[in-house]
Chain A
């Protein structure tokens, strides 16, 4: 999260929006973002409906056995088509901003 925040300008200059999704309610996420200084968009999916739709549900994966999302990243173009997916097999190893920026430049997502 901190990594993406630090490279937010590089995403903005490419016209790529950084959007996060988790099961946390908006108020909790808002407090979290304010505390850590995160300014990109965080969406709330408390019922994990969208997380299920993307088949990312990690049943009972939360600290108290709640259903949460597994870590995942999707790069989506203007037509709504997925251009790159990262499904890590380890919660400690996530996509790095540099890696995503490299993919964006490689696949020619930038149109203007």
Chain B
């Protein structure tokens, strides 16, 4: 369970904001894993004639603890190492204009996004649904390297 928890965050729970923003589902899995392994170890030490796994249990518990530590570090600290961006344009200021290439090779400027009904060739997939003038733009900066 403890092994499954950190892996599941990246392959499964990362997909939904609810389980991504704060990884409570994974902490829950860690907790379940912790309860299981501690009860297992307790049994192995109290009734060694009945249950095996003193060494394996201890090793597994150590690995689980290590993983928990790593997971807390990655999700709690590592992903927060971001520049402060104090010079980013704020609310009420004019957005700096730009001229960039879209994924189809069309040149797109911020002013063209805000004024024209469409940019580029819609049949080529450029600026979807742009049959009417826009009301605004939501500009999303991504880390990329997809």
User: Could you list which residues of chain A lie within 8 angstroms of chain B, going by C-beta atoms?
Assistant: 1-4, 8, 11-12, 14-24, 26-30, 32-33, 39-45, 49-51, 53-59, 61-63, 66, 68-78, 80-85, 87-96, 100, 104, 109-112
Give the number of residue pairs across the A-B interface with Cβ within 8 Å.
Answer: 226
CB atoms of A69 and B141 under 8 A apart: yes
Interface string of B55-91 (1 = CB under 8 A from A): 0000000000000000000010001101101111111
Q: Interface residues of A: mostly helix, strand, loop or mixed?
A: mixed
A16-B138, A41-B127, A77-B136 in contact; A85/B91 too (CB < 8 A)? Answer: yes
> Would you mind naming 17 contact pairs between A and B with Cβ atoms under 8 Å apart?
A17-B130, A24-B144, A41-B126, A41-B127, A50-B100, A56-B85, A68-B144, A68-B145, A70-B141, A71-B142, A76-B114, A76-B137, A77-B135, A84-B91, A89-B80, A109-B136, A110-B135
* Set of chain B residues within 8 Å of A111, measured between Cβ atoms: 135
B108 on the A face (CB < 8 A): yes
Question: What would 6 more interface pairs be, CB under 8 Å, given A22-B143, A71-B143, A89-B82?
Answer: A51-B141, A56-B85, A83-B91, A85-B89, A92-B20, A95-B140
**Alpha-carbon distance between A44 and B103 when the two chains are bound, in angstroms:** 7
Chain B contact surface mostly: loop
B100:A21 contact, CB within 8 angstroms: yes
Q: Write out the residue numbers on chain B whose beta carbons fall within 8 Å of the beta carbon of A66.
A: 145
Which of A42, A81, A82, A104 meets B103, CB within 8 Å? A42
Contact of B102 with A26 in the complex, beta carbons under 8 Å: yes
Nearest-CB residue, chain A, relative to B107: A43
A20 contacts across to B, CB distance below 8 A: 140-142
